[in-house]
Amino acid sequence: MFHTRSTDNPLLKHAGLPYFPLAFIARLPFAMMVVGVLTLVVAERGSVTLGGLNSAAAGLGTALAGPLLGAAVDRWGQRKVLVPVGLLNATLLGAFILVVSSSAADAVVLALSVLIGASAPQVAPLSRTRLVAIIKRHVADDRREKTLSGTMAYESAADETVFIVGPFLVGLLASAIAPWVAIAGASALTFVFVTAFALHHTGQVDPGTDSTPVEPAPVRELLRFPLMTVVVGTLGVGFFFGATLTSLTGFLAADGDGDRAGLLYGVMGIGSAVLALGSAALPQRFTLRARWLVFGSLLLAAAVAFAAARSVTGLVVALAILGLGIGPTLVTLYSLAAQLSPTGRSATTMTMLGSAVVVGQSVTSAVTGLLADRLGPTTALAAPAVCAAIVVAAAVAHTLSARPRAGAQDLVPA
């Protein structure tokens, strides 16, 4: 996506090369949140069910507050919102360690989990918002579509990597030192890197800080059916992440190898990140709708193979193929969201998708865990296939809704 010389690339020129590692590290706490809360609660309270409920509570908080934070960013700008929200979230994560290890009631722990999710700084969607704004302002029309595709590919690959690395870090810190260290690390990363991300000069390019702001589209534009199908598809991806990691952990734990889940899960992340980056090279005639259908169907087929696997070798092969489907699918969903975003609602749109991923991961982490406990780990392996079917169903609904009708305009901008 990027050339080595920043002066040749308007995106690198205006964002700066250090921006990208900063934005990558700043999104790590968000990926660590759900698994970190689950791990700490299970370790301190001795209840897997309570741990799952707290993960779901964090996801609920994100679902409730994420789009509201996006709307606030669209109105006031990223700096004015991200700095106080990031500091609040870092404080709440630190307090969570003390509350969970105290004699506080379970309801208090659940309430704090909701607040942690609600205050989680969604760096990934806000990074997309910044880069899209730079592309629209500084990239020539003939290069804009290719640059946008490459940027969404990079961002999705970064997300894929973070959602693999985040849980892996939690597991590594929890097993090597103590479960509370993972939450403490997330708090420190939020305090330092999210604040640095908020204060980065690219935070001034979003609509909320534009010297000549554009009147934002009505909120009802966010509820248009084509955009909502993209949100549902992204929710399905979140469902898939949670179901895959949890079912894999349950299957391996049955043989006493549960601690290997993060390593095997990384097999999916490798193919996913590579093909996500490679999707920028796909020809433009291979439309976004077609990509969603094709790669979503590949995801579903591999998920069926994952459900049928009864050996570690079978699971590894299925995970490798799953990565080839999930990466390009996520790139496509964010690219469609960038195209369908109503005027002045870019941050809201991107945070809706970011919230959908975390909510989906939280819900299916809890549900798949219950399936594994009550119906057995092999039954739980079918959960990712159900989630992949949701992604494909949303793709079909989106394609049908976008068909030209008499007297109607195409819903996807050229």
Count of residues in the chain: 414
Q: What share of the chain is helix, strand, coil (3-state, %, to 5)?
A: 80, 0, 20
d(CA 120, CA 87) in angstroms, rounded, equals 10
Residue 302: what pLDDT?
Answer: 94
Residue 307: what pLDDT?
Answer: 93
d(CA 121, CA 92) in angstroms, rounded, equals 12
Whether residue 386 is contained in a domain is answered as yes
Question: What CATH number should be reported for the domain holding residue 266?
Answer: 1.20.1250.20
Neighbours of 373 (CB within 10 A): 14
Whether residue 410 is contained in a domain is answered as no
Amino acid of residue 375: L
Whether residue 317 is contained in a domain is answered as yes
H or E stretch including 300? helix 288-308
Residue 299: what pLDDT?
Answer: 94
Flag whether the pTM goes above 0.85: no
Whether residue 315 is contained in a domain is answered as yes
d(CA 340, CA 335) in angstroms, rounded, equals 9
Name the domain count of the chain.
1
Owning domain of residue 112: 16-401
Whether residue 50 is contained in a domain is answered as yes
Whether residue 332 is contained in a domain is answered as yes
Residue 115: what pLDDT?
Answer: 94
CA distance readout (Å), 194 to 84, 105, 167:
10, 31, 19
Residues 246, 365 contacting (CB under 8 angstroms): yes
Residues 116, 33 contacting (CB under 8 angstroms): yes
H or E stretch including 118? helix 106-118
3-state secondary structure of 186: helix
Residue 212: what pLDDT?
Answer: 45
Whether residue 256 is contained in a domain is answered as yes
CB burial readout 152-178, b (16+ within 10 A) else e: bbbbbbbbbbbbbbbbbbbbebbeeee
Whether residue 6 is contained in a domain is answered as no
Profile the chain (414 residues) by mean pLDDT over runs of 10 residues: 54 81 89 81 77 80 80 82 92 93 89 91 84 79 72 76 75 80 91 91 60 64 87 93 84 71 73 72 82 94 93 90 88 84 77 81 81 85 94 94 50 35
Neighbours of 17 (CB within 10 A): 12
